[in-house]
């Protein structure tokens, strides 16, 4: 199995976001390159039969023995066909993965392979993307260390047999465990690794903070957990404190910065520094049981933390009470509202609960597209968001 590892996070993150739009629909076009578990060695066979192979063709083995039909074509790194999915007629209707390098000839009668019946039986069975994703998830869960330290910080996506694994881990030892676990899953055509290790991230953050220590002569301490940086120590001013926060947030791979640095005039107890990441599409429930869905998140550029949510839902106007809606009146139309994370009571993996009623949204900023800006194309969003998920406060 070929494992693609990405070491430059700024290059990795856009690839991760591209991978996140992959679905388990088997016939979608590939988005981006992928490595093959069974490398295609004969490039000539790929170009020679390009455009001649299609689903529905009969497949023959050496000796003119009919074996079945092609049901699907799987693309490779450059978009060309790399694998044939062949439904065998005599092996209990199993679907076999056949590398295109095994194609010997293509005629009007069908596709001819260069292997015999015994070899076709030895080829791996084809599995759907959904089945492979389930097996990868189970493999990660069955590792007792990953289950405790990394399982909930890792995303698994499979498309066309290629698994993309993204997220944050404690250290490179966990990456070895991830690779080992995934390597036990049969039928994968490739593995993409997009993991950021806390130990490596901590070194980069420490290097960034050296600038503060050299100029101000004050030590700033950092800890990293699942990509979240926690700063502590004491500096001479609030401006230096903000500068340390920005230096840490600018390190590639940092999800967010919690700033516990003491400085004159700064009340640490008064700041809401919870690290909350509402998922896009997550249900958010108000105290009166109405709910909306997270459309986008608003991020503070200086610390990469989510400070607000753009919620879509049927919210009552200030004059319209929840009771009248329940009595059968026409429901309020869908609209977008801006809710600060400070009113979040708690989040679960698929829903969030607020401290306020839906009628209280008028206390907060109404969504106005002109009041928000999209990130620049080269800005890398914190995991698990993609660029389109994020907005900043500020006029266009």
Q: Which alpha helices (DSSP H) does the chain contain, by range?
A: 9-20, 43-48, 117-122, 129-142, 144-149, 172-182, 198-216, 238-249, 322-326
Predicted pLDDT of residue 15: 45
Report the Cα–Cα distance between both ends of the chain, in Å, rounded: 47
Q: Are 260 and 290 in contact (CB under 8 A)?
A: no
Cβ burial, residue 314 (10 Å; 0-12/13-18/19+): middle
- Same structural domain for residues 290 and 320? yes
DSSP structure class, residue 278? P
Structure tokens at 273: 């520094």
For residues 350 and 152, the answer to whether their CB atoms sit within 8 Å is no
With a cut of 70, list the residues of the chain below it in pLDDT: 1-47, 76-79, 90-93, 316-333, 395-396
Query: How many domains, in total, are found in the chain?
Result: 4
Do 21 and 132 share a structural domain? yes
pLDDT at 46: 54
Asked if residue 275 belongs to a domain, the reply is no
DSSP assignment, residue 23? Answer: -
Helices (H), 3-79: 9-20, 43-48
34 in a structural domain: no
One domain for residues 288 and 357: yes
Same domain, 299 and 347: yes
Omega before 166 cis (within 30°)?
no
Question: 177 lies in a domain?
Answer: yes
The answer on 147 and 293 residing in a single domain is no
Check if the beta carbon of residue 199 is closer than 8 Å to that of residue 149.
no
Contacts of 1 (CB under 8 A, 6+ apart): 37, 183, 188, 190, 191
**What pLDDT does residue 317 have?**
62
156 belongs to a structural domain:
yes
Residue 4: its pLDDT value, please? 43
309 and 349 both lie in a single domain: yes
8 A C-beta contact, residue 66 and residue 60: yes
Whole-number pLDDT of residue 78 = 57
Residues 100 and 234 in one domain: no
Closest alpha carbon to 159 in 53, 71, 74: 74
**Domain termination site, one of 79, 98, 122:** 122
48 and 62 share one domain: yes
Residue 366 DSSP symbol: B
User: What is the structure's pLDDT at 47?
Assistant: 58
How many other C-beta atoms lie within 10 A of the C-beta of residue 305? 24
**Structural domain for 103, as ranges:** 43-122
Instruction: Give how far Cα 21 sits from Cα of 99, 128, 159, 281, 388, Å.
Output: 26, 17, 10, 14, 12
Question: Do both 209 and 296 map to the same domain?
Answer: no
Where residue 205 sits, what CATH number does that domain have? Answer: 3.30.1340.30
Same domain? 132 vs 16: yes
d(CA 107, CA 164): 36
Which CA distances in Å does 145 have to 27, 131, 169, 227, 379? 36, 24, 11, 18, 33
> 20 and 136: one domain?
yes
Packing angle of the helix pair 198-216, 238-249 (nearest 10 deg): 150
Rounded to the nearest 10 degrees, what angle do helices 172-182 and 129-142 cross at? 130
- The helix/strand/coil state of 193 is strand
Boundary-marking domain end, from 270, 297, 314: 270
What is residue 35's predicted lDDT score, i.e. its pLDDT? 32
């Amino acid at each position: 199995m070929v494992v693609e590892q990405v070491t430059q996070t700024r290059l990795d993150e856009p690839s991760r976001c591209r991978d996140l739009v992959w679905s388990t629909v088997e016939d979608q076009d590939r988005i981006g390159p992928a490595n093959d578990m069974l490398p295609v060695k004969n490039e000539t066979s790929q170009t020679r039969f390009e455009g001649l192979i299609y689903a529905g063709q009969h497949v023959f083995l050496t000796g003119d023995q009919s074996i079945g039909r092609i049901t699907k074509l799987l693309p490779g790194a450059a978009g060309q066909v790399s694998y044939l999915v062949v439904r065998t007629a005599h092996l209990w209707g199993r679907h076999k993965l056949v590398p295109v390098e095994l194609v010997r000839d293509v005629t009007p009668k069908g596709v001819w392979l260069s292997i015999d019946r015994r070899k076709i039986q030895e080829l791996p069975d084809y599995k759907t993307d959904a089945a492979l994703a389930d097996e990868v998830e189970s493999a990660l869960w069955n590792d007792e260390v990953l289950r405790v330290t990394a399982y909930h910080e890792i995303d698994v996506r499979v498309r066309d047999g290629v698994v993309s694994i993204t997220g944050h881990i404690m250290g490179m030892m966990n990456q070895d465990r991830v690779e080992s676990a995934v390597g036990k899953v049969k039928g994968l055509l490739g593995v993409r690794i997009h993991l950021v290790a806390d130990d490596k991230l901590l070194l980069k953050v420490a290097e960034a903070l050296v600038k503060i220590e050299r100029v101000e002569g004050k030590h700033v301490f950092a800890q990293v957990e699942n990509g979240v940086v926690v700063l502590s120590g004491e500096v001479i001013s609030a401006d230096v404190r903000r500068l340390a926060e920005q230096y840490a947030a600018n390190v590639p791979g940092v999800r967010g910065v919690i700033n516990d640095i003491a400085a004159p005039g700064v009340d640490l107890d008064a700041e809401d520094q919870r690290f909350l990441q509402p998922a896009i599409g997550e249900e958010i429930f108000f105290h009166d049981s109405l709910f909306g869905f997270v459309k986008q998140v608003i991020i503070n550029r200086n610390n990469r933390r989510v400070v607000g949510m753009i919620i879509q839902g049927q919210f009552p106007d200030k004059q319209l009470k929840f009771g009248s809606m329940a009595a059968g009146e026409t429901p309020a139309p869908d609209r977008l509202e801006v809710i600060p994370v400070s009113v979040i009571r708690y989040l679960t993996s698929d829903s969030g609960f607020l401290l306020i009623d839906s009628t209280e949204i008028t206390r907060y900023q109404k969504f106005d597209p002109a009041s928000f800006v999209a990130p620049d194309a080269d800005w890398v969003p914190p995991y698990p968001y993609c660029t389109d998920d994020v907005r900043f406060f500020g006029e266009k």
